[in-house]
Structures are given as structure tokens and as C-alpha cells.
Amino acid sequence: MPPGSRHDSPGLAAFLRRVEATVIRELNKNWQSHAFDGFEVNWTEPQQTVTCLHTLGYPPAQGQGLHVTSVSWNSTGSVVACAYGRLDDGDWSTLKSFVCAWNLDRRGLNPRQPSAVVEVPSAVMCLAFHPTQPSHIAGGLYSGEVLVWDMSRPEDPLLWRTGLTDDTHTDPVYQVVWLPEPRYSYRFRVLSVATDGKVLLWQAAGPGQLQLTEGFALVVQQLPRNTKLKKPHRGETEVGTTAVAFSSFDPSLFVLGTEGGFPLKCSLAAEEAALTRLPSSVSLRAPAQFTFSPHGGPVYSVSCSPFHRNLFLSAGTDGHVHLYSMLQAQPLTSLQLSHKYLFAVRWSPVRPLVFAAASGEGDVQLFDLQKSSQKATISIKQTQDESPVYCLEFNCQQTQLLAAGDAKGTVKVWQLSTEFTEQGPSETEDLEQLAAEVAT
């Protein structure tokens, strides 16, 4: 065939002119059709089972008998970090510890060799990656300090620290959270909670310094008396806080877990002064607005639903998970998941009726409330000797991944089966119904 004769250009042009109006008409018809509303193409193969993708650990930390106290995914979803510390009784304020991070997308990943390691002079109790800066991570220490590191600068990672001043927590910091500034949503502050009863907001100020900008103190006498609580010991005024979760719908609303076992609904907008003698460079306010019925022991973890403004979960030493509505003190449901402690509970970021819990018996339990409101859909054995699982986090970017850390100093990255990552047809309605059942 001679070159150039493959297409009859004038004939082709005439044909396209003839059919153009018909094709446009059909395309417009398709464009206005609702036949595929709600349909999303999923090019990935359905995953039938939950499998362990990675078993990560840092031998020098494990050799010291350190626990993984916290895990966090960075903003891209490709890096997982863990804090090494101790969660059992003892004074760990001068225990040499570590923060380690692994880039799971890196070729030649070595599970025993983190891509970044930071040495820390006190046990690290909690971690949180920055919401938009993939290498910045905040940590809370047993000593009461809050620090921020840049994991991309292994030689000089420390960016900011609170230092040990009158403003610093006097007890271990159990959770840190990044919060956008009200007026500049691209700028963030770090919120910290500790068992000294203080909830503090920190901002980078000057070289290497975190400065206190706002603070709250929880005092027994100022707790809302809408539910019956045990009388505190004589002279005890501060309410130790152990966990915090922010509403996805109202940026000023948060829930605190307490050593007394009762969750508290709180507000950043609270104006009442706290009745406390705790020293502080800013006036501390009383944030509690509503007290929920208590667990049988301290609450270790709380999680607000990403899909419903009124629902949150709590887990504690009594081995129970409580599902609460913000509108009433009694839990909507209480599930006993363990005969030992429960250390963490988290809602799924993609399935409205799915949550995960970490138990003192060495397993990670995945619940699908659409299937059963009483028993776990699957229980994953994380540790063979039933050592506790202390922490877990879903990956909000790569939603099939869940990381969990344990007392053996190991982080396991679990790949979830498709049933835990794809919404069911009436799931949002079922969640609404669950929340409404209680409010009646």
C-alpha cells in the first residue's frame, strides 16, 4: 500500500460531518442520564482477607524492652511513624527513647531499618503527623514536654519544643493533635492533653520554641453535674485527661477521655475561668460542657465519627467500647471486647459503621455494625503471646491500610479486605438510624 493512501481524508471528513449531529445528541443524552449515579469505578482487585503487609521494628528500641506507644500516618499516606516508650507503671521521664519512621513506598524497604530515627531523652507517649507537612511530627513525652521534629532532617530533626517551664505539663502527655488556626486555616497549632488536668494549645514562636497561646484546666468542682460520678478523693481537684478527639463537623467541639472513666464534651470557645491554682502564663479556662456516664475504669481512647456529628466511641480499662450520642449521657450501646484493657479505638475514615479496637490480649478487632452490633466481624492476632496492642490508626489516604503497635516494640501494617473499605448501599442511612434511636 503506497504511503499516504491509508486514509481517504476527504471521505473521512464527509463521514464525520454526516454523523456529528447524531453523536453530539447521544452524548448530551448520556450526560443528562442518572443511570450511573453513585457508581464509582474500582480498578483494584477485591481483597478477600485481611493480611499483614509489613512487620516493622527498631532492634535497639526492642532490645531495651520499649513498647510502641503511638503510631501515625503522614499526610501522603506513604510514611508510618511510631513512638517508643513505656506504658506500664514506673518513672520513664529519663528513659532514652525513639521516634522511628518508615517510607512504605520506598524500594528496598528494610522493616528492621527505619528511614528516619530520632533519639529522645524521655519516653515518648504519643505522636501526630502534621496535616499538610509530610515530614513534620509532634510528640508528647512522659516528662510533660511537647516537641515537633522534621523527620527529613535526620542530623538535626528538632524544630520546636515547649521546654520545661511553668506552662509545661507536669504529668505525661497522652495525646497531641494538630489544629488549624481559626483565622489562618493553613497555619496549625499543637494541642496537648495530660493527666495533670490541663489541655494546652501551643504555637511556634521564635527559633526552636513552642509558646503557650491558650489553655484549659479541668477541675472536679466545675464538671457539669448531669450524671452521677464517684466522689473524688479529698483535696483532689484536677481531672486527669488521657485522650482527646475533635468533631469533624464543629472545629471547636472536642471529647476528652479521663482517668475517672467518664468522657467529657468540651468546647474551645468556653469562656469561664478555671478554678485552679496551677501556674500558667495565660489564663486557663474551664472547657467541660457535658459529662457522659462513666466506664468501669479510666478511658484510654476516644474517637469522633467522621460521618455523623453526634456519634463518638470510647474505650477503656474495663474492656468495653461505648458508643455515645453527644445528646445524652447514657451510651447507646456498650460492647465488651476484652477481659483485659482496651487501649485504642478508631472509626474507619471510609466506612461509616466500621471501627477498630486494640486490646490488652494482643488482638486488633474490626467491627462492622451493619453486620453485628455485638460481636467483632474479625479479630486479628497481632502478638502471638497475647502481649497488649497499644495503638492503631487507619490510613486516610491509602484506606486499605491499618497500622497497629504493640508491647513487643513491633508495628504491623495490615491490608484490609474490601468489605472494610467499600461502603454498603444504605450505610449512611443506617448510621443516621443508629444515632436517632438514642435521641428519641
Q: What is the mean pLDDT of residues 315-330?
A: 95
In the chain, the domains with their CATH numbers are 53-439 (2.130.10.10)
The percent of residues above 70 in pLDDT, for the chain, comes to: 92
Q: Dihedral (C-alpha) 19, 25, 30, 31: value to the nearest 10 degrees?
A: 120
Average the pLDDT over each of 108-122, 184-198, 248-262, 426-440 and give the range with the smallest value: 426-440
Q: Percentage of residues in the chain with pLDDT exceeding 90?
A: 72
Using an 8 Å Cβ cutoff, are 413 and 54 in contact? yes
Q: How far is CA 88 from CA 240, 248, 257, in A?
A: 17, 32, 19
Query: Per residue in 286-299, pLDDT tens?
Result: 999 999 999 999 99
Grade residue 46 by pLDDT with cuts at 50, 70 and 90: low
Average pLDDT, the chain: 90
Question: What does the DSSP 8-state code read for residue 222?
Answer: G
Grid look-up 464509582 returns: 40
Q: Give the pLDDT confidence score for residue 89 in this predicted structure.
A: 78
- Nearest in space to 370 (alpha carbons), one of 386, 353, 357: 353
For the chain, what is the largest distance between any 2 Cα atoms, rounded to a whole number of angstroms?
102
User: Which of the four pLDDT bands, split at 50, 70 and 90, describes residue 337?
Assistant: confident
Q: Which residue has the higher pLDDT, 72 or 18?
A: 72
In this prediction, residues 325-343 reach a mean pLDDT of 92
Instruction: Please spell the DSSP secondary structure of 366-416, one letter per residue.
Output: EEETTT-SSS-SEEEE--TT-PPEEEEEE-SSSTTEEEEEETTSEEEEEEP
HSE-CB at 233 with a 13 A cutoff on CA atoms is: 4
Structure pTM?
A: 0.87
Phi, psi of 88 (to 5 degrees): -85, 175
Q: What local confidence, expressed as pLDDT, does residue 44 receive?
A: 53
Contact criterion met (CB below 8 Å) for 111 and 172:
no
* DSSP 3-state of 352: coil
- Cell numbers for 245, please give them: 478527639
CA atoms of 150 and 71, how far apart (whole Å)? 16
CB 413 within 8 A of CB 392: no
186-201 per-position pLDDT tens digit: 789 999 999 999 999 9
Lowest-pLDDT choice from 66-70, 214-218, 237-241, 330-334: 237-241
Distance, CA of 101 to CA of 86 (rounded, Å): 18
Q: Would you say residue 338 has pLDDT above 90? A: no
**Highest mean pLDDT: which of 27-31, 381-385, 423-427?**
381-385
- The answer to whether 261 and 294 have CB atoms below 8 angstroms apart is yes
pLDDT of residue 439: 47
- The pLDDT tens digits for 233-247 are 555 588 999 999 999
Span 343-361, average pLDDT: 96
Distances (CA, A) of 241 to 126, 140, 369, 397: 14, 14, 28, 29
